[in-house]
Amino acid sequence: MLEEAMAFGSTMDDGLGRTVTARYRFARQWALGDRKSPLSSTPALVLLDGDPDVATHIAPFRSSTDDAIPATLHFESRLPLSPPDFSSNSPSWSVSIGHVLPPSLDEADAGEAAGTAQVLPVSWQRLNHDASLTDPELKPDVVVLVDAVQLAAQPGRLVEAISILKQQFPGALLWTPGLGGPDNLAVLVWFGVDLFDLSRSRQAAAAGVLLTEQGPRHIVDSMDESADMEQQISHWRNAIASVRGALASDQMRSLADRQSLTSPRLVEHLRRHDLLCQNIPGLLSSHVAADFKFPCHSVSVQTDPLITDWESYMTTEYSAPLGLDTILVLLPCSARKPYRLSKSHGRFIRAIGTSACHEVMVTSPLGLVPRDLEEVWPAGHYDVPVTGDWTGDELARIQRMFRVLVDRQEYKRIINHSGIHFEHPSVEVVDTRQGDSAGSHDALERLSEAVRSAVDTFSARGRKTEKILLDNFASISRKQMNNDAWLADMKVRGKPPRYRLERDKNQMALWSIDRSGFSLPKAVIPTLDELNSLPTVHLRPDVAWKGDIFGVLVESFDKSIRAGSDVLVYQNGTVIGLARAHAPAWEWPNTPGRLAKSHQRL
C-alpha cells in the first residue's frame, strides 16, 4: 500500500492523490483522487473567499489568506482526495507566503522567506534566492506562483518561471493566482498551469464585461446577455471542457494557437514559450499514435520547438543511406502522408523510374524530408494547407537545410522538381519544372530525362526492395534510437506494411505502422544492450519489478528519454527488460503515476 501511495502521489495521510491521464509537452490533465474512480480532474478551479458555489468536479479546491504580515495561505480540498483510502481525508495545508517584492527587484532580498509545505508558495525572488527549492527531497503537491500577475507584465518572465517550476516540481499541480480566465485558459494550460481561480471573472462582472474563450467583450444588450457570475462561470465551464477535450485528443497546440490570437500579449507569451522550450532535453515525443496529426494551420507554428528540433537533426545528424548520395532529387510535398501513397508522388516515382536517387521532399513547415524518413514523427503526421505560397521564414529554413544537406553529403548532381529555386556553387542543379506544374506532362518528361542522364553519367545503381527497406529502417533507427548498429546482418521478411526483421531466422523486430517505429521482442535485447542502441533506466537494487515503472522504483535514467521511446531497463548493472516511456525525462522520477509501461522482460 505504501508503494502504491508513493506511485500515486503522496505517502502522507493528508497528501493529494493524483495521476496524469493525458500529457502533451508541459500540458497535463491530472485525475484527482483514486485513479480507479477519480472525483475531479484538471484544469480546475480554486474557490476563494466570496466566490459563488461551483460544482466540485470543476472546483475541487478552496483557498484563503489571512490579514497577517506576512500572510498565511490556507489551501484545502473540497473532496476526499487523500490516499490510501480516499474516503474521508481531504488535504488541508497552511503556509506562510513570506514577503513578496515586485519581480523588478529580483536582486533584492525579500526578508522573511516563504514557508515550505505540501502547498508551496513561490515568487520570482524566491526562485532567485532560495536554494532550498533545489532540494531533491522537496516534493510539494501544489505549487503557487504568487506573483504570476506581475510576472505576466514583464517580457519573458512568466514563461521562464513556469518552465523552471514544471521541471523542478513535475509532480505538483501549478496554480497562478489571479492570472487565468476563459480567455487565456488554453494558453496557460499549454505552458503547464493546472489550477485557476475566479478573480478576473469577478472583476469583469463588476465592469460589465464577459470573459469568453474568444477574449473579453462587452455584453450584447440585444441578446439579453448578462455579465453576472453565473454567466462568467458558464464560460469557464465551456473553456475547461474545451481544454480537457483537447488534452484527450492531443490537440492542445492547435487550441492554444487559436486562443493566443485574441491578444497580442498571449502571442508574445506563446512565442517566448516556444523559444524557451527549444532548449529543454526530452520535452518532445519520439513516437505518436498513427492517427495523431500535428496541426500546421497558423504562422505561429513556425516557432514551435518541434520544427526547430527537426531542422537541428537534419542539419547536424542526418546522413543519407550509404551509397545513395550521388544524385539528389528534390520533390514537392503532398497533402497525403506518407507522401509515396499520394497520386502526385506515384507519378513522380514512375517518372524517376529508379531507386538509385536520393529523394527529398521540400515542405512546410519542416523544410526538407528525405524519403527514408517520410513515415516517422513528425514527417508522417503533420497537416498543412497546400497553397504553393511560402513565407520568408519557410523559404529561409528550406535554403538553410538545403545548403547543409548538400555540404554534408557527396552529391554530384541535383535534380530540382520542387518549384523553389536552388543553386549550389559546386554541384550542378537541373530545374525540371521550368515554371510548369509538378505533375504536368512536360515537367514529368524533363524529370525522367534528367534522372536517366544523371544515372548514366555517374553509373548510379538501383537497389533491390530489401535493400531499400533496410536503408529506410537504418535511417529511422538513427532518428528514433541511438544508432543503427543493431540492424547489422538483418533480413527483411513478411508482406507490406508489417515487415519482420530477422537474423538467423529469428525475429529481431517488427515494423509497427501503428507507431511508425519498431516493436522489439526479447531476442533483440542483448544486442541493444551491447550496442547501446536505446536510452536506459536503472532500477533500485532493493525493489522487485513486478508491473510498470513508477518513480519509486527508479535509481537513475537517461536525460534523453522522450515520451513514446523504448528504454532498456537495468538492475544491479544487468539488463532485465524493455519498457516504453509514457513520460519524458524531465518528469522523471518525481511525477506520480506510470512513467513507463513494461514491454519485455528477460
On whether both 35 and 69 belong to a single domain, the answer is yes
Q: How many residues does the chain have?
A: 602
On whether both 96 and 147 belong to a single domain, the answer is yes
Q: What's the Cα-to-Cα distance from 50 to each of 64, 119, 209, 508, rounded to whole Å?
A: 10, 22, 19, 63
On whether both 359 and 411 belong to a single domain, the answer is yes
On whether both 96 and 200 belong to a single domain, the answer is yes
On whether both 314 and 437 belong to a single domain, the answer is yes
> Would you state the pLDDT for residue 391?
82
- Residue at which a domain ends, from 423, 458, 493: 458
**Neighbouring residues of 37: CB distance < 8 A, sequence distance ≥ 6:** none
> Would you state the pLDDT for residue 108?
59
Q: What is the pLDDT of residues 238-292, one digit of tens each?
A: 999 999 999 988 889 989 999 999 999 999 999 999 999 988 888 889 988 888 8
Distance of alpha carbon 429 from the chain centroid = 37
Distance of alpha carbon 459 from the chain centroid = 44
Cα 159 from Cα 48, distance rounded (Å): 25
Split into its structural domains, the chain has a count of: 3
Residue range of the domain that includes 9:
2-277
On whether both 441 and 514 belong to a single domain, the answer is no
- The cell numbers describing 554, all together, are 527508479
On whether both 99 and 181 belong to a single domain, the answer is yes
CB atoms within 10 A of CB 228: 14
Residue 110 vs residue 319, higher pLDDT? 319
Q: Is residue 284 assigned to a domain?
A: no
Q: What is the pLDDT of residues 545-578, one digit of tens each?
A: 988 999 999 999 999 999 999 999 999 999 999 9
Mean model confidence pLDDT for the chain:
91
- The cell numbers describing 513, all together, are 505502422
Q: What is the pLDDT of residues 399-454, one digit of tens each?
A: 999 999 999 998 999 999 999 999 999 999 999 999 999 999 999 999 999 999 99
On whether both 574 and 546 belong to a single domain, the answer is yes
> Would you state the pLDDT for residue 13?
47
**Cβ–Cβ under 8 Å, residues 170 and 563:** no
Q: What's the Cα-to-Cα distance from 385 to each of 165, 208, 382, 398, rounded to whole Å?
A: 36, 40, 10, 17
On whether both 443 and 471 belong to a single domain, the answer is no
Q: Which residues pair with 510 in a beta bridge?
A: 500, 519
Cα 475 from Cα 230, distance rounded (Å): 56
Average pLDDT over residues 490-497: 92
- Sheet containing 40-41, strands listed edge to edge, beginning at the edge strand earlier in sequence: 18-24, 27-32, 40-41
Cα 15 from Cα 20, distance rounded (Å): 16
> Would you state the pLDDT for residue 90?
84
Residue with cell 505540501: 118
> Would you state the pLDDT for residue 185?
97
Flag whether pLDDT at 206 surpasses 80.
yes
> Would you state the pLDDT for residue 387?
63
Q: What is the number of H-type helices and E-type strands within the chain? A: 15, 30
Q: Which amino acid is at 82?
A: S
**Cβ–Cβ under 8 Å, residues 484 and 353:** no
The pTM for the full model equals: 0.90
Q: Is residue 282 assigned to a domain?
A: no
Residue 114's pLDDT band, with cuts at 50, 70 and 90, is: confident
On whether both 271 and 353 belong to a single domain, the answer is no
On whether both 54 and 156 belong to a single domain, the answer is yes
On whether both 263 and 302 belong to a single domain, the answer is no
Residue 137 vs residue 107, higher pLDDT? 137
Residue 110's pLDDT band, with cuts at 50, 70 and 90, is: low
Q: Which amino acid is at 50?
A: G
CB atoms within 10 A of CB 116: 16
**Neighbouring residues of 58: CB distance < 8 A, sequence distance ≥ 6:** 40, 44, 45, 236, 237, 240
> Would you state the pLDDT for residue 528?
97
Q: Is residue 287 assigned to a domain?
A: no
Q: What are phi and psi of 256, to 5 degrees?
A: -65, -40
